[in-house]
């Protein structure tokens, strides 16, 4: 591909409450991002025609709702499944599952939530998405924190142990341009 654009969804109600997973709608601030995103994209894609990929979760679909491009939803782009911890805060997880909490801290890439996924699992389920990305021209992915980390690490060839800690801020559009070796990057922060 020439360019890969990626962004996390706008701030969700769960982000505000510090809860992980779930299928919460956007907060008022997240909605604001959905409103300004079309201009942010238009100003930075040049004259290329893009396709927008979202997950099946409403926070990504809402974030993309005002974008005037073709859209595709991918189940494989859904956020890392936190299993029994879905909908909890990190504090609640530490209280209820202290060993799990410590194990995740020890090896965040390989730690698999009970009844859920690890980052390693997510990397595997993203393989078909990456194959398709490699075949396509310009794509904008509206995704989730863990998912964007995996895609970002793939294009920048970052090591597994760094991957789960990559800082992917909210309300920021990232543009990656693959080169023969490595990838150029630009970031555009939404004025909100
Ligand atoms: O808090 C937002 C979120 O996308 C959660 O849904 C998800 O579990 C988490 O981030 C992933 O980040 P980390 O792996 O750092 O917990």
pLDDT digits (tens, 9 = 90+) for 79-89: 999 999 999 99
The residues with which 143 forms a beta bridge, in sequence order, are 8
Instruction: Give me the long-range contacts of 121-124 (CB less than 8 A, separation at least 24).
Output: 121/80, 122/80, 122/146, 122/147, 122/150, 123/150, 123/154, 123/163
Note if 162 is an active site residue: no
Q: How far is the CA of 145 from the centre of ligand 1 (A)?
A: 6
What six digits make up the tokens of 139?
A: 């794509």
Q: Which of 59, 104, 149, 171 is catalytic?
A: 59
**Does 90 score more than 90 pLDDT?**
yes
- The DSSP 8-state label assigned to residue 80 in this structure reads -
Average pLDDT (24-51) is: 95
Binding residue numbers for substrate: 8-15, 59
| pLDDT 10s digits, 147-157 | 999 999 999 99
Residue 1 — pLDDT band, cuts 50, 70, 90?
Answer: low
Distance CA 157, CA 67 (A): 30
- The DSSP 8-state label assigned to residue 28 in this structure reads H
Q: How far is the CA of 46 from the centre of ligand 1 (A)?
A: 32
**Does 180 score more than 90 pLDDT?**
no
**Atom number, ligand 1, closest to the C-alpha of residue 165:** 15
What six digits make up the tokens of 40?
A: 């942010």
Cβ(146) – ligand 1 distance below 6 Å: yes
Distance CA 5, CA 177 (A): 9
Cβ(145) – ligand 1 distance below 6 Å: yes
Cβ(12) – ligand 1 distance below 6 Å: no
Closest CA to 93 of 44, 29, 20, 144: 20
pLDDT at residue 160, rounded to an integer? 98
How many C-beta atoms lie closer than 10 Å to residue 7's C-beta? Answer: 28
Hey, whose CA ends up nearest to atom 7 of ligand 1?
20
The residues with which 72 forms a beta bridge, in sequence order, are 53
Binding residue numbers: 8-15, 59
Which value does ipTM take for this structure?
0.98
| pLDDT 10s digits, 92-147 | 999 999 999 999 999 999 999 999 999 999 999 999 999 999 999 899 999 999 99
**Atom number, ligand 1, closest to the C-alpha of residue 119:** 14
Note if 171 is an active site residue: no
| pLDDT 10s digits, 38-74 | 999 999 998 788 999 999 999 999 999 999 999 999 9
């Amino acid at each position: 591909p020439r360019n890969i654009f990626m962004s996390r969804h706008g701030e969700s109600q769960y982000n505000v409450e510090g809860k992980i997973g779930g299928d919460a709608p956007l907060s008022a601030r997240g909605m604001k991002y959905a409103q300004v995103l079309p201009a942010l994209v238009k100003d930075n894609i040049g004259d290329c025609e893009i396709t927008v990929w979202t997950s099946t979760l409403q926070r990504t679909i809402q974030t993309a709702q005002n974008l005037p491009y073709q859209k595709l939803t991918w189940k494989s782009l859904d956020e890392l499944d936190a299993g029994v911890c879905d909908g909890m805060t990190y504090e609640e997880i530490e209280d209820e599952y202290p060993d799990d909490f410590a194990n995740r801290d020890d090896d965040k890439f390989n730690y698999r939530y009970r009844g859920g996924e690890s980052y390693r699992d997510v990397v595997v389920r993203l393989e078909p998405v990456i194959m398709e990305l490699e075949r396509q021209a310009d794509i904008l992915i509206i995704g989730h924190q863990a998912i964007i980390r995996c895609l970002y690490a793939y294009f920048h060839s970052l090591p597994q142990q760094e991957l789960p800690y990559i800082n992917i801020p909210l309300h920021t559009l990232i543009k990656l341009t693959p080169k023969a070796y490595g990838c150029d990057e630009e970031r555009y922060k939404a004025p909100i």
